Amino acid sequence: MMTSTKRRIAAGVGALLVAAALGGATPAAADPDNGPSNTPPPKVDLVLDLSGSMNRNDAGGETRISAAKKAFNEILDSLPDEALVGLRVLGQGNPGDNQAVGCRETAQLAPVGKPNKVAMKAAVAAQTPTTGWTPISLALQEAAKDLGTEQGSRRIILITDGEDSCPPTNPCDIARMLAAQGLSLVIDTLGLVPDERTRDQLTCIAEATGGTYTSANNAQELSERVTQLVDRAVVKAEEVTIPTTIKGSPNGCADAPILGPGVYADRILFEQHLWYKVPQLPGQELRASATVGIDRAVARDYDATITAVTEDGRDLARYTDAGSGRMDGQSAGLRYSLPGKGDDEPKPKDARFTCLMVSTAFNAGPGVPRDPGMPVELLVDLVAASDAQASDTHGLGRGWIFIGVLAGVGLVGGLLFGWLVRLIAGMRRAV
Amino acid sequence: MRASTRTTRRARVAAALTALGTAAALASAAPAVAATDPSSGPGNSTYANNVLPGTTFLTAGKMEAETSTTTPASTGEYMYWSFPALAGEDVSAKVTLTLPNSRTAPMSWRVDVFDGLRRHQPCATGRPQATAQPADAAIEIDCGPRTIRPWSEAWSSDPLPGTYYVRVAATDVAERDLGLRLQVKLELTAKGGGDVGPYAGQDDSLKAPLVPVTGGGQQLQPGQVADTRKVTLAGFDNDDEWLSGTTGRWVWTTAGGIVAMLLGVGGYLFARHPRRWFR
């Protein structure tokens, strides 16, 4: 009782001081949990390699291309109706040794939208492998364009049997660049009877965009995997979280962006600090989590730290977690409660800024690109504050076992005392 | 008095009700899942109605405690699932990996459990990491974090009620063994659900469970503030319950004293004049 009264008074005084500093704030209209109601449904673009090597007869007793075609028929049959799926090929045409032409060969067979399964099947059936090159980088860039630029979940499923044969671009760098463009984009890769270099490149593309890599050796494996990937991608639009792209301040809290509750995406360079600030009302608890995605080959040990500080630099809460080895990301999260002031509804002018700093300790070899930075997913949430310290129980008890023990001791005490009195009375009578 | 061994009937009743509620929720959710499940294709009919893993925290496959799922996956893939858990529960995640037989080198796998703030939870029980030799057909890894508490200091990373994440990942895998097909079975268990921890009971409780925010954020203008988000979790109750807090402890203790006094007097009378009782 005493402590809570004291706390309330202290909070009230603090709030008064902050009120003077902030003044005239208005409540935001943002409703983070329902998000913008016009979230577009997830989109998938399938990209199929048609280059010459697809003619090889080593995909479970048939040529790679016929395995791919067979798989595509099954995939198209099992496409859920609500899926927005497009189809693109690369390396079609017969440019022969003309690399300049061959490296521009990519075409859209079906635009991203409700799939016209009959037309798509016919389009796939009509394709024959060629003497073509394998311009993966170009195909990925075009596929990203196919998916459009509206906010939403976007996924490319790349099916190829060979590495990019169009130097000098490395498709892995292209993939990382596409993922860093601010629109959520994931590339899943499938290697059809892959050799070592293909595997290297496809794993790198998947890692750079947070996608998955799978190798398939026959039509069944291929169709099973693609169907699963499409199933995963095609979820209800309202269940998709699209992080808002944000640019944290590397300089400090003063010019940091002001964030409301929700999910944000940013990029962090090695050895960079990213600052954000959140207006917090008395009685609100700030919850923040940051996940730094490991999208390139980094040194073995690393960590991520999230720190909450006041505007004048006092530490409020911090959390660091370290990781090591092969992993997809490193996360950290914290809670910080601003005590409420009595039962009064807090007013917007009582709000004060809590600064959030995300920092990392990552390192990488000289051949690993530093730019663009690693992806950061930041969650900011404001919920009802919990008590900052355990309440004083004054040594009092609680619960049925507690009552039972008291009752038992009382009963045994009474009985013993009764028998003692009887014994003494009996002895006295005997005397 | 410390309450670590105490289990109140109320808590048991609450736990039973929670279990009933969860069962009801599951029963009603199952047909809905089946109805919206698009996996009617020939490829994965064996895995229909199973919760597919996500590739990030945001896309984690949503499971319930005390359920299991089996799914095909690729070696090297990162798999995420999430499930809700309540105070007093000892949750654990057991993963059985049926590995492809064309492997060339040993392969290490790890299961990690994270709380709703994405803080890594140490495993109090289980063997979260294992290495499979090329000859091994399957390995099992499991992790049971510490008992979930009803409350903790804000700076501590003690497990609290809310959403939990399970991540299954290959931590060490040879380059040429990447992308092979394997089968993953995840079994979630949750035991207990009583009055636990040094701050048991309703003296202190978490006002909002650790259920992360979903939906893109919105940048605010200077002077704007955001509303407090109302967090909901099935079975989580932060209302001021009957006889809660310090006031509740006074009532419990006084009631205990009165009961002890009455039984003491009764016991005395019984022992002093037994014949009056058995006439």
Q: Cβ contacts (< 8 Å) between B58 and chain A: which residues?
A: 241, 243, 263, 377
A228: nearest CB among B43, B216, B223: B43
Give the burial class of A149: count Cβ atoms within 10 A of its Cβ; 0-12 exposed, 13-18 middle, 19 or more buried: exposed
By C-alpha distance, the chain A residue nearest B54 is A232
d(CA A326, CA A322): 13
What pLDDT is attached to residue B244?
64
Cross-chain CB nearest to A25 (options B173, B218, B224): B224
CB contact under 8 A, A380 and B217: yes
pLDDT at A393: 76
CB–CB of B56 and A377 under 8 A? Answer: yes
Residue of A nearest to B111 (CA): A327
pLDDT tens, residue by residue, B33-73: 333 333 333 334 456 678 889 889 998 999 998 999 999 99
How is residue A78 written in tokens? 């099992």
Closest Cβ–Cβ partner in B58, B76, B228 for A241: B58
Contact B103, B178 (CB under 8 A): no
Residue B266, pLDDT > 60, answer yes
Q: Nearest residue of A to residue B177 by CA position?
A: A215
Contact A402 B119 (CB under 8 A): no
Distances (CA, A) of B139 to A268, B104, B128, B134, B245: 37, 16, 11, 11, 47
Is A26 in contact with B223 (Cβ distance < 8 A)?
yes
Reference A221, options A84, A107, A62, A43; nearest CA is A62
From the list A243, A337, A393, the residue facing B203 with the nearest CB is: A393
Answer yes or no: are the C-beta atoms of A155 and A205 closer than 8 Å.
no
Segment B7-19 mean pLDDT: 42
B253·A242 Cβ contact <8 A: no
Residue in B closest to A232 by C-alpha: B52
Question: What is the pLDDT at residue A116?
Answer: 85
| Residue B117, phi then psi, degrees to nearest 5 | -100, 15
Cα distance from B138 to chain A (closest Cα, Å)? 19
Tell me the nearest-neighbour CA distance from B182 into chain A, angstroms.
10
Residue A197: its pLDDT value, please?
87
| Confidence (pLDDT) at A233 | 79
Please, is B89 exposed, middle or buried when counting C-beta atoms within 10 Å of its C-beta (0-12, 13-18, 19+)?
Answer: buried
Distance (Å, whole) CA A410 – CA A405 = 8
Among A200, A261, A317, select the one facing B217 at the smallest CB separation: A261
pLDDT of residue A343: 67
Coil/strand/helix, residue A139: helix
Cβ neighbours of B103 (radius 10 Å): 20
Structure tokens at B80: 């995420």
> Number of CB pairs < 8 Å for A and B?
398
Q: Which two tokens stand for residue B262?
A: 């009455």
* B123-139 average pLDDT score: 94
Distance of CA B207 to the CA centre of its chain: 17
B219 and A213 within 8 Å at the Cβ level: the answer is no
Could you report the per-residue pLDDT of B147-176, keeping only the tens digit for each? Answer: 998 888 888 889 999 999 999 999 999 988
Give the pLDDT band of residue B203 (cuts 50, 70, 90): low
Residue A366 burial (CB < 10 Å; 0-12/13-18/19+)? exposed
Measured between beta carbons, which residues in chain A are less than 8 angstroms from residue B275?
none
CB spacing of B217 vs A264 below 8 angstroms:
yes
Q: Note the Cα B210 to chain centre separation in Å.
A: 11
Q: Find chain B residues with C-beta within 8 A of A326's C-beta.
A: 169-173
Residues of A in contact with B52 (CB under 8 A): 228, 231-232
Nearest to A333 among B117, B243, B272 (CB): B117
- CA A54 – CA B42 distance, rounded (Å): 24
**∠ CA A133-A135-A139, rounded to 5°:** 135
Q: Is A327 in contact with B58 (Cβ distance < 8 A)?
A: no
Q: What does the alpha-carbon distance between residue A157 and residue B74 come to, in Å, rounded to a whole number?
A: 15
How far from B80 is each of A262, B54, B213, CA to CA, in Å? 20, 5, 17
CA–CA min distance A395, chain B (Å): 6
Chain B residues whose beta carbon lies within 8 Å of the beta carbon of residue A284: 228
Q: Is B31 helix (H, G, I), strand (E, B) or coil?
A: helix
- A70, A396, A403: best mutation site toward chain B, by most B Cβ within 10 Å? A396
Residues from chain B that touch A291, judged by Cβ atoms under 8 A, are: 56-57, 118
- DSSP of A62-131: S-HHHHHHHHHHHHHHT--TT-EEEEEEES-S--TT-HHHHTT-EEEEEEEES--HHHHHHHHHT----S
Q: How confident is the model at residue B241 (pLDDT cuts 50, 70, 90)?
A: low
Residues 6+ apart with CB under 8 A from A160: A47, A48, A49, A90, A134, A136, A189, A190, A191, A192, A198, A202
Alpha-carbon distances of A153 from A81, A147, A281, rounded to whole Å:
17, 10, 33
The C-alpha atoms of residue A265 and residue A244 are separated, in whole angstroms, by: 6
Q: What is the ipTM of this complex?
A: 0.81
| Shortest CA distance from A2: residue in chain B | B246
Instruction: Count CB-CB contacts under 10 A for residue A21.
Output: 11
Residues forming a β-bridge with B107? B132
CB contact under 8 A, A351 and B180: no
Q: Half-sphere exposure of B163 toward its Cβ, with a 13 Å CA cutoff?
A: 20
Predicted TM-score of the model (pTM): 0.80
Regions of chain A short of the pLDDT cut 70? 1-39, 95, 236-238, 343, 390-391
Q: What is the pLDDT of residue B8?
A: 39
Interface probe for B, chosen from A197, A307, A328, A381 (most Cβ of B below 10 Å), is A381
Which pair of tokens denotes residue A297?
């080959």
Q: Any bridge partners for residue A349, and if so which?
A: none
Helix (H) or strand (E) holding A267: strand A262-268
CA distance A110 to A97: 28
- Tell me whether residues B118 and A291 touch, CB distance under 8 A: yes
Nearest Cα residue in chain B from A402: B256
Q: Which helix (H) or strand (E) holds A400?
A: helix A400-430
Asked if B171 lies within 8 A of A186 by C-beta distance, the reply is no
Is the pLDDT at B146 greater than 90? The verdict is yes
Asked whether the beta carbons of B124 and B108 are under 8 A apart, the reply is: no
**B260 DSSP 8-state letter:** H
